[in-house]
Structure 1
Amino acid sequence: MKDFVKLFELDYRSLALYRVSLGGVLLYDLAARLREVPTFYTDSGVLPRAPLIEQFQGQWSWSIHLLSGAAPAQYFLFALAALCAVAFLVGYRTRLATLASLLLLISLHNRNPLVVSASDQLMRVLLFWTLFLPVGAAYSVDRALAGPDAGPRGSNASAGTAAFVLQICLVYWFTAALKSDPVWWHEGSALYYTLSIDYLTTDFGRAMLAFPGLLRVLSVFSIVLETVGPALLFFPRRPWRLRTAVVFTFIAFHASMLPFLTLGTFPFVCAAMWSSLLPPEFWERAGERLGSPGAWASSLRPPTSARRASTAANVLAALFFAYVLLWNLASATAGRVGVPAQAEWVAHVTGLAQVWNMFAPYPKRDDGWYIIPAKLEGGTEVDLFRGGAPVNWAKPASVSALYPNAYWQKYLEYIWLRDYAGARLYYARYLCREWNAAHGGADAVKTFDIVYMREDTPPPGHPEPLAESVVVWHHDCTK
């Protein structure tokens, strides 16, 4: 039994590294979104509050960001979220900072779900489970303020740590389970199709398409790693060496995507998540090689007494994990097994709602780029999507370079979809306002079309077909 419990122990130093890493990603995400506050989070942006509530908000979605559609109110909430993220990072009133960061993150995501990605989903889920972890027990302000005889030492095992470890496994197991198409397991062409999604792929990613044999090997490797890798965390022989290898393998796996795909903060969130699983022996060996931290840090390290999670916390963590397991089973069984409909609100209110369908059941086999040809009052035609450049219908050398950041990338991916067609009107109105605020007279925009240049991805070895121009919206700025 002791060996079994040890599988779910988390070292306080690893939890401190996780806290600092995740806090850093939270701050970076807030800073990156800050420049887009008027665009994505105000009534003068691409999704005002009224259409959000009427068309796109779920029944149990909530957001304090909806209290105002003005930019100053949003900047205040961003500043508050940044303060909470800093408190979380340094470990000051850590549990309260974790809860506040979680609530503000859920609120922010619900204000504009059209810019929410898998990375955002994972951050919410991790923050929820962090409420059950002693992430402020070492190398934190809380630890320093508690005095030399307060706090735990070594590792911690509880229902909360078990749920956290298993949640990490569920991310990969259900991702693998949902990748049911032959392109993953039999054809090995999944990475070819992934790197053919032009709005996600970098120049290096496109260059990899010249190596189909390597891509086949890497396609199979990735799905095998997602399936088998997490299970190795529970291998009974030489567990600390194997666990350390698994942690760094997954960190390297996610880092290896950075040169080839534009995935926003996802690789960094995953790296922070995996750092929490580094075993005590890793730190002891590192200490032997590098020496002990300086005296300045001694007050931040965990002292000698032990601390256990309360019975109530253990029961609550176990219940929430059972709930999350059922929630994930619903996605893998087409709803045959899952959370009762009467209890679905829990996931939406707490931020635990999750579907790990990245590139599943297969990567997209079509993609495209936008052209927005506009007629100005003086008769000139320009492309609003490229800041007023002359209209050019040829495929750009780098489609991903057309998007300012991952948030725009996700938003424009959504409005192409039929389910989000209602958002196109508000994007069009935003384009009118933005252009005409900076241009007047003969340079004011009169009418424009939002055109999506849709392109099918051929099977490996086949020539690329011509793109099809699809007018997704026509707009008259004078009406």
Structure 2
Amino acid sequence: MAVRLASIKTIFGIDLRTLALFRVLLSLWILIDLFMRARDLVAHYTDAGVMPRTVQMEHLHITTWSVHLANGSAWFQALLFILAGLVALALLVGWRTRLMTVLSWALLLSLQNRNTFILSGEDNLALILLFWAMFLPLGARYSIDAALSRSSNNPNNAYCTLATAALLLQGMSMYFFSAVLKTHPIWTQDGTAVFYALQLDYLVTPLSLWFRQFEGLLTGLTYYVYVLELVGPILIFSPLFHRTFRTLLMLAFITMHLAFALFLEIGFFPFISIIMNLTFMPGWMWDRLARLLPARTERPVAMWFDRGCDFCEKTCQILKVFLFLPAAPVRPAQDDAEIGAELEARNSWVLTVGDERLFKFEALSKLIAVSPLFFLLGKVLGFPLFRKPGDWFYDWVGRNRSSFSRVTALLLPWRESAPRFGVLTQVCAAAAFVFVTVQNVSTVPASGITLPAQFVGVRQALGLYQNWTMFAPHPEMTSPWPVVEGELADGTMVDVYNGRIGLADFDKPDVVSQHYENYRWRKFLSNLEDQSYEDEPQVLALNYARYLCRSWPADMKPSVALSNFVLYFQVERTPPPGEQKSVETRQVWLHDCLG
């Protein structure tokens, strides 16, 4: 029996429904990332924090830019955070999708350049995914743009361009080049890399503290991760047995990242990686899922609006898209004399489900109840408890629908043609892919490639940094945690790091990773500890010390200032399997807050 080969379009294409999922998940990641960062808005993004603008700008390439560096005040940073959140919400629902994608990318790049000492691989990958998203029709399905489109562009879900190929190849290049850079014998010969990774107490979760006793299993996992990263990116594009390989490898990469989330405190890197892997979700999976969703009614469903009401028609079209009811027609009530008369009499839109006619809020709850995905919400809204306030809200909207129509005409215009992703877009995507591939190859020492200054300048301006050194060439061999012991102006000893009266505790915490406030602080303090080994000025230590002086809790002794303190790091070194760990106390910085 002949073996069928997958076509180029199948291998390098992305289903439009998958691109819609990519848009939704990427938007949610941006919103979550903004929320998590906002907890340390003053500490990490203002001149009163650990990274004043003058210090950060000294560490940026000349072509690096950031709107966030325009002002060092908390209110200015808060405004940019809110703006980024609003843009992400617009991207989530697919309103002016292409513009919102560009703005989200620009605002994220600006935010990351405001404080580069708290960044990790998660930030790099997310920024690159947003970059490739600008070349793709993320709003072609399940979006406000799609709901208001009068164009029949992209009638099929299959979509293949140079940009889809670039996104898929970029995702797999992260794994492939990470594997190529894993050159140490603990990966390729000893099989102890996962053992060493789970010995990094400042990174591991409590589950890892228990799991690392199974050394034989850790050896198997080392080889599994190495082979998956090296071979998986090739087989996932195989034209032979394409459906099988793609499904199995996509699930293998996703489960690997779920394991990372369980065992390592590495922020949201596992989740942004899962979002990247889901771009490989083929169309047949969506078709299978659609068949699994049961129909909530066998009767025909239709929405009837008042002709001439711009707001009414657009609302029905948006409901049709977001409630996953593609077969439900949206019609002017005046097309049916009987329904038109009822609309006038009841001053309400009309929902017909078979011969049943529903009005006002009851119609909305019933429409949601017949949605294959949101039916439970519809059943809840159908409770009598919600009927009266729902009808009141509907009547209020009805009284003001002329005003709403003016707003929708301005903000939600009909789209006569879909955004074009034509030749120029594809040429730019192809050029960008060549650009990042050259950079990826240059990270391999054997390549001998040195990037020219102009190349680096473009890379920094666009945020296209590529260097996938996840535990490469080997995991770290030291695990640090900070201890800050200080003295108030009246001689009282204080634990500055934990903000409490008394001597600092140099003993190892039960769970070292929880000694850090969050993963952004862990990244900053580990960078600070790394910099303390260098001969150059200890800029991070100095500015962290100044921040501690300013932020010493006033509720401890309001009238007594923090006088001086010493910043130590307890550094635990990981020995080979079977040997005991050792801890070294390193004094990194001595600071006098009073000048």
SS in structure 2 at match of 1:276: helix
The residue that corresponds to 2:44 in the other structure is 40
Contact 2:66/2:109, CA 8 A, preserved across alignment = yes
Query: Is 1:433 aligned with 2:546?
Result: no
Amino acid paired to 1:121: N
Residue in 2 aligned with 1:131? Answer: 134
Q: In structure 2, which of residues 486, 492, 499 is the aligned counterpart of residue 380 of structure 1?
A: 492
SS in 1 for 2:569: strand
* Residue 311 (structure 2) aligns with: none
Looking at structure 1, the residues matched to 296 and 491 of structure 2 have their Cα atoms a distance apart, in angstroms, of 69
Report the Cα offset of residue 302 of structure 1.
12
1:349 corresponds to 2:461: yes
Q: Is the 8 A contact 1:199 1:369 kept in 2?
A: yes
- Structure 2 distance, partners of 1:299, 1:369, is 51
Q: Scaled by the length of structure 1, what TM-score is found?
A: 0.94
Give SS of 2:148's match: helix
1-structure distance, mates of 2:186, 2:553:
47
Distance 1:246 1:315 in 2: 29
Aligned to 2:505: 392
- CA drift of 1:48 comes to 0.6
What per-residue deviation string (whole Å, max 9, x for no partner) do you get for residues 9-52 of structure 1?
A: 10011111111111111100000111111000000001111122
**Separation in structure 2 between the aligned mates of residue 185 and residue 41 of structure 1, nearest angstrom:** 41
Q: 1:5: Cα distance to partner?
A: 2.9
Secondary structure (helix, strand or coil) at the match of 1:234 reads coil
**Does the CA contact (< 8 Å) of 1:12 and 1:137 recur in 2?**
yes
Identity of aligned residues (%): 39
Q: 1:438 deviation in Å?
A: 4.3
Q: 1:238: Cα distance to partner?
A: 3.4
1:148 and 1:288 map into 2 onto residues whose CA distance is 27
Q: What is the match of residue 30 of structure 1? A: 34
1:163 counterpart = 2:166: yes
Map of 2:541 onto structure 1: 424
Q: Report the equivalent of 2:581.
A: 464
Distance 2:557 2:422 in 1: 66
1:87 to 87, 90, 113: 90
1:262-303: per-residue Cα shift (whole Å, max 9, x none)? 111111101111111101111112222224699786546799
Q: Which residue of 2 aligns with 1:475?
A: 591
Q: Which residue number in structure 2 is paired with residue 411 of structure 1?
A: 524
- The correspondence for 1:19, drawn from 23, 26, 42, is 23
Residues 375/307 of structure 1: CA separation in 2 closer, same or farther (3 Å cut): closer
Between 67-76 and 344-353, the greater mean CA deviation after superposition: 344-353
Distance 1:253 1:171, change over 3 A: same
Report the alpha carbon displacement of residue 184 of structure 1 after superposing the two structures with TM.
0.9
Q: Note if contact 1:129-1:163 (Cα within 8 Å) is conserved in structure 2.
A: yes
Greater CA deviation, 426-435 or 248-257? Answer: 248-257
Task: Spell out the pairing of 1:263-278 with structure 2 (5 A cutoff).
Answer: 263-278=266-281
2:271 is the counterpart of 1:154: no
Distance between the aligned counterparts of 2:258 and 2:72, measured in 1?
37
Worse overlay, 442-451 or 284-293:
284-293
Equivalent position SS for 1:155: coil
- How high is the TM-score relative to the length of structure 2? 0.76
Spell out the pairing of 1:56-205 with structure 2 (5 A cutoff). 56-147=59-150, 149-205=152-208
Structure 1, gaps ≥5 residues long = none
What are the superposed Cα offsets for residues 224-251 of structure 1, whole Å, 9 maximum, x if unpaired?
1111112222122332233122222211
With over 3 angstroms needed to count, the CA separation of the structure-2 counterparts of 1:285 and 1:293, relative to structure 1, is farther
Q: Is the 8 A contact 2:500 2:556 kept in 1?
A: no
- Equivalent residues of 2:492, 2:501 under 8 A apart: no
Distance, in Å, in 1 between the alignment partners of 2:187 and 2:164 is 32
Secondary structure class of the residue paired with 1:69: coil
Q: Distance in 2 between matches of 1:114 and 1:293?
A: 52
Compared with structure 1, are the counterparts of its residues 292 and 413 closer, same or farther at alpha carbon in structure 2 (3 Å cutoff)? farther
Picking from 468, 475, 487, the partner of 1:363 is 475
Aligned to 2:566: 449
Return the offset for 1:163: 0.7
The amino acid that maps onto 1:19 is R
Aligned equivalents of 2:97 and 2:119: distance in 1? 26
Question: Gapped runs of 5+ residues in structure 2?
Answer: 302-317, 327-416
Pair 1:315 & 2:315 matched: no
Q: Distance in 1 between matches of 2:133 and 2:574?
A: 41
Q: Is the 8 A contact 2:44 2:51 kept in 1?
A: yes
Aligned mates of 2:6, 2:241 — CA distance in 1: 15
Shift of 1:444: 2.5
Deviations 1:354-390 (A, max 9, x none): 2111111100011221110111223222211122253
The answer to which structure, 1 or 2, has the higher relative contact order (CA under 8 A, 6+ apart) is: 1
1:442 to partner: Cα distance: 6.8
Secondary structure at 1:229's aligned position in 2? helix
Q: How far 1:394 sits from its partner (Å)? A: 1.2
C-alpha separation in 2, matches of 1:209 and 1:2: 42
Instruction: State how far apart, in whole Å, the 2-side matches of 1:363 and 1:293 are.
Output: 52
Q: Distance in 1 between matches of 2:231 and 2:320?
A: 39
Q: Distance in 2 between matches of 1:376 and 1:365?
A: 36
1:328 is the counterpart of 2:440: yes
Which AA in structure 2 matches 1:66?
L
Shift of 1:347: 1.3
Q: Which amino acid aligns with 1:48?
A: P
Q: Distance in 2 between matches of 1:234 and 1:353?
A: 24
Name the counterpart of 2:396: none
Shift of 1:101: 0.6
Q: What residue identity is the alignment partner of 2:577?
A: P
CA-to-partner distance for each residue in 1:127-154, whole Å, 9 max, x for gaps? Answer: 0001111111101111011137454421
Alpha carbons 1:158, 1:308 under 8 Å: kept? no
Counterparts of 2:325 and 2:266, CA distance in 1: 36
Residues 426-455 of structure 1 deviation map (CA, whole Å, 9 limit, x = unaligned): 100110111164444674321100001112
8 A contact 2:52–2:72 mirrored in 1: yes
Residue 53 in structure 1 maps to residue 60 in structure 2:
no
Letter in 2 for 1:401: Q
User: How big is the alpha-carbon RMSD for the aligned residues of Structure 1 and Structure 2?
Assistant: 2.3
Superposed CA deviations along residues 379-413 of structure 1, whole A, max 9, x for unmatched, are 22221112225322211111111111111111111
Structure showing greater Rg = 2
Q: After superposing the two structures, state which structure 1 stretch, 239-248 or 370-379, moved more.
A: 239-248
Any conservation in 2 of the 1:191–1:216 contact (CA below 8 Å)?
yes
Does the 8 Å contact 2:22/2:278 carry over to 1? yes
Matches within 5 A, 1:216-255: 216-255=219-258
> 2:445 & 2:566 partners in 1: Cα distance?
41
C-alpha distance 357-389 of structure 1, shift in aligned 2 (>3 A): farther
Provide closer, same or farther for how the CA distance between residues 292 and 416 of structure 1 changes in structure 2, counting only shifts above 3 A.
farther
State the number of aligned residues: 477
Q: Any conservation in 2 of the 1:369–1:453 contact (CA below 8 Å)? A: yes
